[in-house]
Amino acid sequence: MSKTFLTSSVLAAGLFALSAGHAFAQTTPNATPIPDDAIEVTPETLPTDEVEFVFNEAPDDHVLGADDAPITMITYASVTCGHCGKWFQEEWPVVKRELIETGKMRFVLRPLPTPPAMLCVTGFLMAECAPEEDYFSSIEYQMNNQETIFEAAQNGTVQEEYSKVAAQVGLNNDEEINACLSKPENMELLQLNQKRADAAEVKGVPAFYVGGQAYKGKQDASSLVSLIGSMYESGQSNLPESALKEDASHDHEGHDHDHDG
C-alpha cells in the first residue's frame, strides 16, 4: 500500500479533529471519558443548528434488529476505545444472540472517534464504505483486532492491517481506498454523530441509551439481557429507576488501559 493511503488517513483525522466539539481521551476504568479542556470551544466549533434524532433512530444510522422490535438501544462507541473493544469481544456476542436475533431489541451503533484519531477515523470511514449488510462485520473485526492494530501502529506496519480492513469492505486497491477516505458525506456523518453525542451529553464511551434514556447500570451482557428481557416481557419502553443511576458496585477490573490517550 502506498503513502497516499496514509496521507488520506491523516487528512481525514485532521478534518474530524478540527470539526469536533470535543477530543476524546481514555483515562478512567469506567469508560473512555471526554475531558472538558480537550479542545478550545469557540462559536465556530459549536453546532449552529438544531440536532435531530438525538434519542431516537435516524435514517442515517447503522442498525441491527427487527423493524418491529419494541425496544431500541443506541450505543456510542469507538474502534480505538479499549473499553469498547473489550465490550464487543466479551459482551456483544451474547447481546446480539439473546436480544437482537430474538427480536426483542433493535441496536443502533453511532461511531464516536477516540485517540489515536488517525486509526479511529480511518477505521470508521472504511466501515462506512462497506455494503450496509457488512458494516457491523467491519466494526466487529476492528474491535476484535484492536491489539493487533495498535501493535502494528507502533511497529510501522499499520497500513498492512488496514489493508485487511479495506479488503473486508470491498476496497481492493489504493485508488478505491483513497476515494473512500475522501468521501465528504462519510466525514459529515461522523461530525453529525459527534453533535448528537454532545446533545445527549455523552461523557464517555461506550455509552448506552435505551428508549431515549441514558442507561447507567452494569454493561455486562448478563445484566443487559436480564434488563431488556424484563422490559420486553412486561411491555415497558422506559428504563426502570435503578438503570438510570450510576452503578457504584460495578467491577471494572480487567479493563485494558494500555492505550490510554
151: domain CATH number? 3.40.30.10
Structural domain contains residue 41: no
Closest Cα partner for 168 from 208, 138, 144? 138
Which of 19-23, 62-66, 100-104, 175-179 comes out lowest in average pLDDT?
Answer: 19-23
Residues with Cβ within 8 Å of 151's Cβ and at least 6 positions away in sequence, in order, are none
What domain range is 91 assigned to? Answer: 3-25+59-244
Residue 10 has pLDDT above 60, yes or no: no
Instruction: Give the burial string for 105-123 (b: 16+ CB within 10 Å, else e).
Output: bbbbbbbbbbbbbbbbbbb
Structural domain contains residue 231: yes
Radius of gyration of the chain (CA): 18
Residue 130 has pLDDT above 60, yes or no: yes
Structural domain contains residue 81: yes
Compute the half-sphere exposure of residue 183: CA atoms within 13 Å on the CB side of its CA: 19
Residue 145 has pLDDT above 90, yes or no: yes
How does residue 248 score in pLDDT terms, banded at 50, 70 and 90? low
Structural domain contains residue 175: yes
Name the pairing type of β-strands 105-111 and 71-77.
parallel
Residues with Cβ within 8 Å of 147's Cβ and at least 6 positions away in sequence, in order, are none
Structural domain contains residue 129: yes
The pLDDT value recorded for residue 186 is: 95
The C-alpha cell 479499549 sits at 82
Cβ–Cβ under 8 Å, residues 110 and 74: yes
Q: Any bridge partners for residue 107, and if so which? A: 64, 73
Structural domain contains residue 108: yes
Number of independent structural domains in the chain: 1
Q: Does the model's pTM come out above 0.85?
A: no
Residue 37 has pLDDT above 80, yes or no: no
What percentage of the chain has pLDDT greater than the value 70?
75
pLDDT digits (tens, 9 = 90+) for 194-205: 999 999 999 999
The pLDDT value recorded for residue 131 is: 96
Structural domain contains residue 76: yes
